[in-house]
Amino acid sequence: MEKIAIVGVGNTKIGEWYENSLRGLTDIAISKAIESANIDPKEIESTFIGSMSSGIFNQQEHISALIGPHSGVNAPALRVESACASGSQALRVAMMAISAGYYDSALVVGVEKMTDLIDIGDVTTALGTASDSSWELGVGATFPALFALMMRAHMHKYGSTLEEFASVAVKNHDNGSLNPDAQFRRKITMDTAMKSRIIADPIRLFDCSPVSDGAAAVIVTKESLAKKYTDDPIYITGTGAGTDHIALHQRPDITTMESTKRAVKTAFDMAKITTKDVDFIEVHDCFTIAEVITLEDIGFCKKGQGGKFSLEGKTALNSKISVNPSGGLKSKGHPVGATGIYQVIEVFHQLRNEAGKRQVTNNNVGVTHNIGGSGATCVVNVFSRGE
């Protein structure tokens, strides 16, 4: 089976795009991706769009028909929804379609326009629909509360500390300060993070990713056609997905994410790598506890040591393992349905040595980790340059 190659990428800056629409943001990202790949839009045979809640955020469903033809790509279009992992799932669907021989090339778009809902309570409720509506959202447990439960359980079980979680936020803001497309480009101190207001105890403001708008697009094709579009394609060498119970109370241990473990095993086995081969990773840090748990579940450190691993500086840029060189969701931003594609674009630029001041020096193998909800869904992809 041929590997799938990424030959072009494009994205908007992440932020609060009050002056633009969901359709307008995707137009920007798609046009940049087409220009990047130097591809005729007529050669794009299908479009796959990852978006979580356009019906709630924008009162617009059927966005596959809204986005594709408007951007000039007149190919069959399909929307893929998997909460915050929608973008990564859309990429997997595109990969499977190409591998199955249905298409030679495809456009994959991730988009979310969250600020069309002015009231933050409405935004929180919209995001909460990715949890169990009956057992969690319906009784007032929004995602800050759910991840607070996970954080408190981790602190109780392993003795992790608020300082350790704050170190995750500080590191990601350090990296984000170097990313011109990041929503927040300011460094923060440990004191600022630890003294920020409580959102859902023990989670504080700087443990949380923001409300964001953004669109990102990649163009993928089969390996044999990649050099037609670029001299420096990036290959997806492994992919995996996992699914777990949507509600926390149905999981035997809320300090781990079984979906991550399953996705990692599949992706790493396919790519024939171990954690020792990974040079950098984009991790889904919707809350700092999510990054800590992920580092443990993937195997970069022992269970219960993820916070200490971060506090000791082992996840900083060009340290033992560069984690979230983009700034992660925490600093770069989190336009939920688009996040997975933004992660892929960061890896694309890192592997091509195009990341500027945040460039990872050891950059042979990059990984993306993208979860949906409180970890009920996970997609992991492995990337490398051609030989």
Which residues are catalytic, by number? 84, 334
Q: How many CB atoms lie within 10 A of CB 156?
A: 10
Residue among 246, 157, 257, 170 nearest 206 (CA): 170
Q: How far apart are CA 321 and CA 103, in angstroms?
A: 36
Q: How far apart are CA 343 and CA 367, in angstroms?
A: 9
What are the residues whose beta carbons fall under 8 Å from the beta carbon of 24, sequence distance 6 or more? none
Listing DSSP states for 277-324 in one string gives: G--EEE---SBHHHHHHHHHHHTSS-TT-HHHHHHTTTTSTTSSSEE-
Q: How far apart are CA 1 and CA 315, in angstroms?
A: 34
Q: Which helix (H) or strand (E) holds 175?
A: helix 162-176
